[in-house]
Amino acid sequence: MITWLAVYHVVEAMAPLYTAAVLGYASVRWLKAFSEEQCAGINHFVAIYAVPVLIFNMVSTNNPYAMNGRLVAADTLQKAVMLLGLVAWAAWESRSRRRRPSIGGGKASASAAAASPLQWVVTAFSVASLPNTIIMGVPLLGGMYGAMSKDLMKQIVVMQFCVWYNVVIFIYEYMAARRAATAMDGTAKISPGSPGAAPSAEKIAPNDEAIVAAKRAHEVTVNIEITEVAPASTVQKDLADNTTTTVAREMSTDAE
């Protein structure tokens, strides 16, 4: 049975975290104490300094020679089973998508390629097996089970950062490389030419005209001219001056 003392210890461990989170949300949403630039600076500081220092404290205070083998084996087994199951589902889903007929042309295939099953693998594996152990798990377990649970949670954190986060990063890099290879295969290469680069008719023999035409059949010549855009008032003034000059010339001609 859970006693009120245990509930008090849990609330005592979680109160600083939730108090800071509620104060930060209220300061931005209602009190307007921080601007968007200041919030971005705070988030940048947390991502660059605060979280890495906290992770380093967790990993450096862990004794790798005194780790609980059963705990590490159980944690590794459940993560490996989850990851293998998700990868098997992703492979089956990719194979079934290839067998389906393409509906809607290139847009449908592009959207299907964008929503890769590997993205769902990373999301599901992160949500199911990589919880927020540093910010929430360690204080919560410390309040529920005492200081001994913190040491056990540190071992899980070490395994996450040494093994499983690298696996997730590898999947991300694989998706990026696969997307880049698909983009290179499906992109047409256009080599823009210029009129000056075209061979002159004097240097082309009569027998080579067909060969040159075949080589230049797929070339695209793009000429871009950038001119200065004058204001509308200037254009109207110039037009009025030209009209006045023309009328004066016609009048002088008629007078003669």
Residue 172 lies in a domain: yes
Q: Tell me which long-range contacts 181-186 makes (C-beta under 8 A, separation of at least 24).
A: 182/113
- pLDDT of the chain, 256 residues: tens digit per residue: 778 887 888 788 788 888 988 998 898 889 989 888 998 999 999 889 988 898 888 888 888 898 999 999 999 999 999 999 999 999 998 888 888 755 555 554 454 444 678 889 999 998 888 877 777 777 777 777 777 887 888 888 889 888 999 999 999 999 889 888 888 765 544 444 444 444 444 444 555 555 555 555 555 444 444 445 455 555 555 655 665 555 455 555 555 5
Distance of CA 172 to the CA centre of its chain: 10
Range of the domain at 10: 4-98+115-184
3-state secondary structure of 119: helix
Cβ distance 243 to 236 under 8 Å?
A: no
Residues 6+ apart with CB under 8 A from 190: 220
Residue 237 lies in a domain: no
Cβ distance 136 to 93 under 8 Å?
A: no
pLDDT for position 191 = 46
Residue 50 lies in a domain: yes
3-state secondary structure of 189: coil
Alpha-carbon distance of 46 to 134, in angstroms, equals 14
Residue 232 lies in a domain: no
pLDDT for position 166 = 92
Residue 66 lies in a domain: yes
Residue 152 lies in a domain: yes
Q: Tell me which long-range contacts 127-136 makes (C-beta under 8 A, separation of at least 24).
A: 128/82, 129/78, 129/79, 129/82, 129/83, 129/164, 130/160, 130/164, 130/165, 130/168, 133/157, 133/160, 134/51, 134/54, 134/55, 134/58, 135/17, 136/14, 136/17
Residue 252 lies in a domain: no
Residue 35 lies in a domain: yes
Alpha-carbon distance of 187 to 181, in angstroms, equals 10
Element (H, E) at 213: helix 209-215
Alpha-carbon distance of 111 to 108, in angstroms, equals 5
pLDDT for position 76 = 93
**Could you give the number of structural domains in the chain?**
1
Can you count the helices (H) and strands (E) in the chain? 11, 2
Cβ distance 128 to 84 under 8 Å?
A: no
Alpha-carbon distance of 80 to 24, in angstroms, equals 37
Say what angle helices 147-159 and 138-145 make with each other, to 10 degrees: 150
